[in-house]
Chain A
Amino acid sequence: MLFILLFVLLVVLILLDLTTGSVKIPANRIFSILFGANDENQVWNTILHEFRIPKTLTAILAGSALSVSGLQMQTIFRNPLAGPDVLGISSGASLGVALVILGFGDFFSMNSLGILSSWFQIFAAWAGAAAVLFLVMFVSLRVRDIMTILILGILFGSAASAFVSILQYFSHQSMLKAFVVWSMGSLGNLSGTQLRVLGISLLGGFALTLVTTKVLNAMLLGETYSRSMGVNIKLTRVLVFISTSILSGSITAFCGPIAFVGIAVPHLARLMFKTADHKILMPACILLGSLLMILADLISQVPGSAVVLPINSVTALLGIPVVIWVVVYNRRMVSVN
């Protein structure tokens, strides 16, 4: 019932998102273009097909991937403040991008590479995320205590950020600006091919998520109980970490860092569906994550003006109240002894 309600709300927001933008396109024309008609106004066709639809799809992918990844992290670390970036994955991705933009930017102009430069950035981000993932995996196969992994993940992330700062300090103004713009996040820079690549890689991440649903329910009771019920802890960690890296690493690679969606949405899902069952929370996170991300995109376009705010700041401003509410009122969300 709640699922249907949220789904309807999502459809409404998607349509609203498609109609919002600096160029006004009448709603009935948008409908007809959506259903395959070729509008006589070619500019409107192009705007919808090349910009608005890919951006809305990206918002849906980003919102759902980050939320599911956040849910996995909160359960496996039994910590209400865990999010997709606790393992340092996004910081690793940032380091990769910083190396490309700031480190090698001097050797060739980004503009001369054209479309290739954005692919280069994406692969650098993936490589950075993977490097941190392998570090975390290496540790997690040797360390028994999950809290140690959490702390090490945060430290790896901080180390990566420190390297980024050093790179920033020594780089040229124009490169610095390019990197800062990247770090503010963006949903609108994806080409059709890139969107397809993002979609396919996320599919892999979501498939792994599905496999870990049952185990994550057991992990609610902590690792001692899970082991006593026959859960292979190390295999679980590996699967969950890989899936979370694919989900949050890919989003960071294609859209830049997007904060707080991953922490806030799982709490909203628990609150609305009043359950701890991952079989329900997973689809709930996908729906609510998409909803929140499209809402953030709508807000970032500041309806009625030509200004566009950085998406990372909007999601932070939307997500932080939820996190504050969790900290102040729901300290018993997940208790760890």
Chain B
Amino acid sequence: MHGMGLNTADGHTVKLENLYIGFPGLLPVNQHAIYGPVNLDIGHAEMVGIIGRNGIGKSTLLRTITGLQDQIDGKVFFDGIENSRIAQKDLAKLVSFVSTESINIQHLRVIDLVALGRFPYTGWLGKLTQVDHTIVHEAIDRTGLKLFAHKPVHHLSDGERQKVMIARALAQDTPVIILDEPTAFLDLPSRHEILRLLNDLSRHNKKTIIFSTHDLAIAMDEADRLCLMTDQGFFDGAPEDLLINQVFRKLFLNSPVEFDSKTYAFRFKRELTRTVTIHGEKKYCSITRKAMERIGFLTVEEDVADAEISIKFINEQLCWQLTCKETNTSFNSVYALTSFLKKL
């Protein structure tokens, strides 16, 4: 970025020290921590993803860092200054927030919504100066919304609207941007696009970005660092460090879901009751194996399996030959093969 517009922040860090989060009740007795302690030192221009099961307190953690709710115990520092010593008005110039709420207001144009981000800087009537206008336009350009600038927000898709909210946070011109599940409700390409954009903002605009997500695979591609909130504790590191240390297994412990370290995704644990052996070209074998697992067959090497499949080309046509209970059957698609086996 250049010119008088969006600042590139320098040296802004966020530090969480023995932080306990929860819901502050009306009375001190009612206060109870739902998660803690969290210790985390987030460096300048880092992109940090928060992962954890629903209800563990991801949103609460993010809202606490943003100052939308008070911590139960422990401290939050911005550049070494404790957040309780920063006035709400000044905090709004340090941290901006993008919530999961979908904003759907009629007759509100994209450019006007983004301009609301200038709130902490404008006078009592909220009139925009030339500098404000420049920053709003840069935020719109940066998020690729130039063509939508004068459209009303309720005409946009969910993904575009999410970008509008990110543009609004950019216009707020804070060194730290916090996003609560920015990829929820989005289709797959939009999810990639949003996290790519965040990665870009952290590298090129030097924004410190903290976000929560359930999209582990995409977050592993884009985030500098992942934090795992589990019942066994708070783990953090580069996504690859977590892989090496096998931390992901802890995420859904005691649940029917397991981490597949080949696909970086979680999937349902399967009960494989029957066995099959598969022969043939390697790439077709692994595809067929995936289909077999779906219908409850464990692929084994030995010849003692319940069924045997050999994959070969017959008249240049791919063919699955099944030997099962001493009968031979031939299929020309995986679908035909699995349909047959399911009936057995």
Contact = CB atoms under 8 A, between A and B. Distances in A.
Nearest to A274: B107
A178 interface: no
Interface in B121-159: 122, 124-126, 154
Contacts of A224: 63, 68, 97, 99, 101
B106 A230 contact: no
A229 interface: yes
Nearest to A269: B107
B92 interface: yes
A335 B97 contact: no
Interface string A210-239: 010110011011101101111110000000
Interface stretch (A1-9, A193-201, A299-307, A326-334): A326-334
Contacts of B106: 270, 276, 330, 332-334
Contacts of B107: 270, 273-276
B154 to A, nearest CB: 6
A8 to B, nearest CB: 24
B300 interface: no
Nearest to B89: A230
A41 interface: no
A229 B120 contact: yes
B81 interface: no
B108 interface: yes
B66 A228 contact: yes
Given A220-B105, A334-B105, A230 B119 contact: yes
Interface residues of B, number: 35
Could you tell me the dominant secondary structure of chain A's interface residues? loop
Contacts of A228: 66-68, 92, 95-97
Interface string B152-176: 0010000000000000000010000
Nearest to B24: A144
A49 interface: no
A24 interface: no
| Most chain B beta carbons < 10 A, residue from A211, A221, A275, A279 | A221
B1 interface: no
Interface in B302-318: none
B116 A335 contact: no
Contact of A332 (B93, B104, B122): B104
Contact of A218 (B99, B101, B104, B119): B119
Interface in A296-324: none
Contacts of A279: 125-126
Contacts of B116: 217-218, 220-221, 225, 229
A214 B97 CA distance: 19
Which one of B91, B105, B112, B154 has the greatest number of beta carbons of chain A within 10 Å?
B105
A221 B126 contact: no
A7 to B, nearest CB: 22
Interface in B74-112: 88-93, 95-97, 99, 101-108, 112
A335 B99 contact: no
Give the interface centre of A213, A224, A225 by most chain B CB atoms within 10 Å: A225
A276 B120 contact: no
B117 A213 contact: no
B344 interface: no
Contact of B122 (A214, A220, A334): A214
A333 B105 CA distance: 6
B106 to A, nearest CB: 5
B287 interface: no
12 contacts: A220-B108, A221-B105, A221-B116, A224-B101, A229-B96, A229-B119, A229-B172, A275-B108, A275-B112, A276-B108, A279-B125, A332-B106
Interface of B: 26, 63, 66-68, 88-93, 95-97, 99, 101-108, 112-113, 116-117, 119-120, 122, 124-126, 154, 172
Interface of A: 142, 211, 213-214, 217-218, 220-222, 224-225, 227-232, 270, 273-277, 279, 330, 332-335, 337
Closest A-B pairs by Cβ, 6 of them: A230-B92, A214-B126, A228-B97, A335-B104, A276-B108, A229-B119
Given A218-B119, A279-B125, A279-B126, 20 more contacts: A142-B26, A213-B125, A213-B126, A214-B125, A217-B126, A221-B103, A221-B116, A224-B63, A224-B99, A225-B101, A228-B66, A228-B96, A229-B96, A229-B119, A230-B92, A230-B119, A270-B107, A275-B112, A332-B104, A335-B104
